[in-house]
Amino acid sequence: MLVHAVIGLAPLAAAAFVLEALSATVAGIDPAAWSLLLRGSLLGMLVIALPSLWTGIAERNHMYVNWPPSHRIKLALSLVLVLLLALELGGIAASDGPLRLGSWLGLAIVAGNGVVVFLLSAFGLRITLGRQSFGRTSYVPDMDFDPPMDILECVADFAGEPPKLIDVREER
């Protein structure tokens, strides 16, 4: 669940960078607030990405023997994101003047983070939900089988049985 915050903070950091660099005031939010949002978003992303990366590695190693390509790609992208965030925060701390849109920092925050987070999300969905595409899924409705299968017929034999209830107060 931690990764959802990273996905939300990346576009916030990008927008805050652009608005701070333009010295824009939008809906009463001045450049000083954009500055705080930018730095807070980047720091929040870094602070959240580190334990997310660690738990991903630890859980993967705990449950499986090998790492499929999609997991290796996600690991590499996570490392790229952490490195990128550290460089961005260091670049902001080292800058002595106002932020510039066309700088390497702007490109990294607006485009780099967005691309890496998008790819992480795509591979995360692929891992979590299985095959992602616009093509047909492997699901076949029961009635499309030959001969058609009615799921109610399959379970009719069990309809007379009493429900199986578990009382958690009696579990030991």
Separation between Cα atoms, residue 37 and residue 92, nearest integer Å: 13
Whether 53 contacts 79, CB under 8 Å: yes
Alpha-carbon Rg for the chain in angstroms: 24
> In this predicted structure, what is the pLDDT of residue 81?
93
> In this predicted structure, what is the pLDDT of residue 53?
82
Separation between Cα atoms, residue 25 and residue 19, nearest integer Å: 8
pTM over 0.85: no
Separation between Cα atoms, residue 3 and residue 9, nearest integer Å: 10
> In this predicted structure, what is the pLDDT of residue 96?
83
Whether 77 contacts 119, CB under 8 Å: yes
Separation between Cα atoms, residue 4 and residue 15, nearest integer Å: 18
Q: Is the peptide bond between 31 and the residue preceding it cis, with omega within 30 degrees of 0?
A: no
> In this predicted structure, what is the pLDDT of residue 42?
93
> In this predicted structure, what is the pLDDT of residue 148?
72
Closest alpha carbon to 8 in 113, 140, 106: 113
- Domains of the chain: which residue ranges? 2-129
> In this predicted structure, what is the pLDDT of residue 136?
58
Please tell me whether residue 26 adopts helix, strand or coil conformation. strand
Tens digit of pLDDT at every position of the chain (172 positions): 677 888 889 999 999 999 888 887 888 888 888 889 999 999 999 999 888 888 777 776 655 556 777 778 888 899 999 999 999 999 999 888 788 888 888 899 999 999 999 998 888 877 777 655 555 555 556 666 677 777 777 778 888 888 777 777 776 5
Please tell me whether residue 66 adopts helix, strand or coil conformation. coil
